Amino acid sequence: MADLTTDFLGIKSPNPFWLASAPPTDKEYNVRRAFEAGWGGVVWKTLGSEGPPVVNVNGPRYGAIWGADRRLLGLNNIELITDRDLFTNLEEITRVKKDYPDRALIVSIMVPCDEESWKAILPLVEETGADGIELNFGCPHGMAERGMGSAVGQVPEYIQMVTEWCKKYYSKPVIVKLTPNITDIRNPARAAFAGGADAVSLINTINSITSVNLDAMSPEPMIDGKGTHGGYCGPAVKPIAMNMVAEIARDPQTHGLPISGIGGVTTWRDAAEFMALGAGNVQVCTAAMTYGFKVVQEMISGLSQWMDEKGYTATSDFIGKAVPNVTDWQYLNLNYVTKAQISQDDCIKCGRCYAACEDTSHQAIAMSADRTFTVKDEECVACNLCVNVCPVENCITMVEMAQGAVDPRTGREVGDYANWTTHPNNPSANLAAE
């Protein structure tokens, strides 16, 4: 059986599935239930400093995007950091860590961007016995307006500065949680690395408005006739999150910086994909809020079975394995040629492939009088749009053409681009020539 035990920054947990800092980790009751359900770790919902209490809205806090089957694809929230007393949280963290020493327990923190505020809270957190801290530099709403959250995460100099303070006043691992609301995710990651961060976690939520109430003419969720932007998460953000994780994993300037992957992890496969792109573990929120804490049991069994099938005995066997295959467009192989192929046995004659290709692509699918659909090889550019719109899995596949075969579309032999590095279609070659 595959061993799912994960060692992240020297913090061991029985599996790589951690709950992210969010409503599910806001109190002792929730976290105990999560650990009993099987979660390998939690990041406690973000703590603030002593002072004026955080006050959340008493109306709707979530907006949503659903698929056609009412499946939740994205969740927008306008909830702030914990509105519970700091010392109540610290007492609960202490008790939970004592009772579950084999589980990872990380404390998320967000305080004003001055050294004294961090100096004051860090010893209090260290006394709880928690395994580490996560700096919330990502929250895009509410706290950002107060100069915290993404307001810090969008300024690399601030990230480095605060990270240095934390390394100065705290002896355990420091994880920096990054905001996706930025042009190039590598810059804040480099700043965290320069500040001595032990790891980064990403992504935090994406600034968003999910819907507008067209009767009240207000964004949802609506509070007394008005709405605001919030943080978007869930399955819909996974592609954005994975790209940002991969960008950091393959950046020479952050080489070796551990990553905790966050963003739309719903199944074991999602987790495996993040980990293949360089994440040492994953954090989950929306899936737990949608299906409950026991969803982790499916993740554990699924990942374990897949690892057994692949011959992986430990998660370290495949973490980062896909990173060398993530490259820039200019390095893709133009000598690789495929064509679409439609299985007539599987085709249900719905015509989606024909409509999509005829109207919006390359007119490479023919339709006969009896609604038989075939591919015109001489027109097919292998874009695979037809594969993606077909409702029958594996009905349309992309078949590789053999080296030396003549591509009917171009008249060239497959493999005819002998020197791609100087080919006129290569953007790098064009830039070099200019």
* 249 and 205 housed in the same domain: yes
Q: Please state, rounded to an integer, the average pLDDT across all residues of the chain.
A: 90
* 276 and 346 housed in the same domain: no
Distance between the two ends of the chain, CA-based, in angstroms? 57
The arithmetic mean of pLDDT across residues 50-66, rounded, is 77
Give the integer Cα–Cα distance in Å for 314 and 5. 7
* 205 and 290 housed in the same domain: yes
Dump pLDDT digits (tens) for 148-192: 556 787 889 999 999 999 999 999 999 999 999 999 999 999 999
Residue 265 CB partners (closer than 8 Å, separation 6+): 238, 271, 274, 282, 283, 284, 287
- The DSSP element (H or E) to which 366 belongs, if any, is strand 365-367
Q: Is the pLDDT of residue 422 over 80?
A: no
Query: Does residue 183 lie in a domain region?
Result: yes
* 362 and 320 housed in the same domain: no
Give the integer Cα–Cα distance in Å for 92 and 102. 17
Give the integer Cα–Cα distance in Å for 316 and 94. 30
The arithmetic mean of pLDDT across residues 88-94, rounded, is 97
Dump pLDDT digits (tens) for 43-56: 999 998 876 677 67
In the annotation, is 350 catalytic?
Answer: no
Closest CA to 266 of 290, 242, 301, 246: 290
Domain edge (last residue) among 325, 346, 370? 325
* 38 and 114 housed in the same domain: yes
* 253 and 105 housed in the same domain: yes
* 387 and 372 housed in the same domain: yes
* 338 and 320 housed in the same domain: no
> Domain range for residue 390?
329-433
Beta-bridge mates of residue 223: 226
Domain edge (last residue) among 325, 346, 380? 325
Dump pLDDT digits (tens) for 4-18: 999 999 999 999 999
Domain edge (last residue) among 288, 307, 325? 325
Residue 220 CB partners (closer than 8 Å, separation 6+): 60, 63, 210, 211, 212, 213, 227
Give the integer Cα–Cα distance in Å for 363 and 212. 37
Give me the catalytic one of 113, 139, 353, 386.
139
DSSP per-residue codes, 238-255: HHHHHHHHHHHHT-GGGT
DSSP per-residue codes, 311-357: T--BGGGTTTTTGGG---GGGS-TT--EEEEE-TTT-----HHHHHH
CATH number, position 350: 3.30.70.20
* 414 and 274 housed in the same domain: no
Q: Please give the tally of structural domains in the chain.
A: 2
Q: Is the pLDDT of residue 37 over 90?
A: yes
In the chain, pLDDT over 90 holds for what percent of residues?
71
Q: Of the given ranges (21-35, 129-143, 180-194, 310-324), which has the lowest mean pLDDT?
A: 129-143
